[in-house]
Structure 1
């Protein structure tokens, strides 16, 4: 005999695939590639990038963007875009059939999740006024905001 709780959960529909995805964007000064398939993220921003004056030039800027999803979820295309206000400052995609998004055989490892992403080093970025950077990941034609970074004037002490 099942308990009432077990019956209720048995009737609960499973989550749609999009709800079990996790989109992440880490804005930083630099991304360095290390031996052993590692990356080092240098100068990670925490929601805000403060500048003393505008206009300003940010000489080095990078983004680590990825989506974490169930290993069994099939996807065909993944696109990555960085926007500054209404301007697209970077865009790339992973084409259908690429190894990064191809069907993954789980085998005996019992992995339940996988990540698909990019490390983006942007050219020097000119910022004329306070604005917002957004990282957008498009999966099979559907856009998802992975993260935002506000660029603002340095707060003054009162």
Structure 2
């Protein structure tokens, strides 16, 4: 049996190692979101994002309704460390509005496309997963913050936020 101080040093080393791995993932993995009025899918596997919002959506009064809010979330990782699980959570004022769990075959197919491209060209070390979600209609009772969180392999990443504000007179 391992004595107490040695056992604690081993456990501490394991925690330190796990924190280092998490820090490396945080540097090579990230997510961001674009908030817009619409996303149009076009020929050639392209998407056009229409009516991109800045950091705020301002209303003259509440309650308010936005006919449709589109959220395009891009998750980035290194081709050498593919994402094994991906969940996108959209929240408003501490309540979850939407949750999307990417099917494993989607993750595998996307990663394989980037790996094939890298093998054939010798270039490219990044892999991108694009997730598009829609809230229609978006019923807003008052000001607040809409947030997007990406959970990649059980690690949480802030993927974006937009403020919902009341117009100030004056």
Q: Name the TM-score class by shorter chain.
A: 0.7 to 0.9
Paired position in structure 1 for 2:88: 80
Unaligned runs of 5+ in 1: 1-12
Q: TM-score, normalised by structure 2?
A: 0.78
State the secondary structure of the residue aligned to 1:50.
Answer: strand
18-27 or 52-61, larger mean C-alpha shift: 18-27
- Greater share of helix: 2
Residues 30, 157 of structure 2: 8 Å contact kept: no
Unaligned runs of 5+ in 2: 1-19
Paired position in structure 2 for 1:17: 25
Cα separation, partners in 2 of 1:143 and 1:22, compared to 1, 3 Å = closer
Cα separation, partners in 2 of 1:40 and 1:133, compared to 1, 3 Å = same
- Count of aligned positions: 145
After superposition, the C-alpha distances for 1:69-128 in whole angstroms (9 at most, x for unaligned) are 212112210111111112211111113343235583421321111101211122201111
Paired position in structure 2 for 1:5: none
Q: 2:36 aligns with which of 23, 28, 32?
A: 28
Paired position in structure 1 for 2:120: 108
Alpha-carbon separation, structure 1, partners of 2:49 and 2:89: 19
RMSD: 2.0
Alpha-carbon separation, structure 1, partners of 2:59 and 2:92: 15
145-154 or 103-112, larger mean C-alpha shift: 103-112
**Which runs of 4 or more aligned residues in structure 1 lie more than 4 Å from their structure 2 counterparts after TM superposition?**
none
Shift of 1:66: 1.3
